[in-house]
Structure 1
């Protein structure tokens, strides 16, 4: 499934500041919840800043989102190293 880059204006409920984002590349879906929400991995630009790896849940139209995690290139590289050995993540008992 490929998503075209999207630019949407949104409002933060917490501090009422306007922000915008652009999904530059859709990498995949980690999980699918009820009512069309999906936990996705995307490359996203927030407020015209450099693209970051982004993991969060999105509604089916990519108009609403939950809080998520964004990682720059260096952080993504470190995470990749940390996740490289699945036995460390889920040791056998």
Structure 2
């Protein structure tokens, strides 16, 4: 049986920001990443200190990122009004 696993290639185009930092230096980051040479997308996931390893995450288009912002703004408004 042939091994059909392709090597995953990525390039971090822009580090948008760090959401949190965990023990061992791992950080949850929002980045713009090109996966396998494709169009850059927004990506939220945990990264090892030198980006040599990554955890599971989510990748979004610009449109999805904008929709997520609207959802988060609504939720934060709810949380702020509850104080």
Q: TM-score, with normalisation over the residues of structure 2?
A: 0.84
Residue ranges of structure 2 left out of the alignment (5+ in a row): none
Q: Distance in 2 between matches of 1:80 and 1:30?
A: 15
Task: Give how far 1:92 is off.
Answer: 1.6
Q: Which residue in 2 is equivalent to 1:55?
A: 44
Number of paired residues? 78
Superposition map of 1:9-88 within 5 A: 16-85=5-74, 86-88=76-78
Task: Give how far 1:73 is off.
Answer: 1.2
Task: Give how far 1:62 is off.
Answer: 0.3
More helix by share: 2
How large is the RMSD of aligned CA atoms in angstroms?
1.7
- Most deviating of 74-83 and 43-52: 74-83
Question: Which is bigger in relative contact order (C-alpha 8 A, separation at least 6)?
Answer: 2
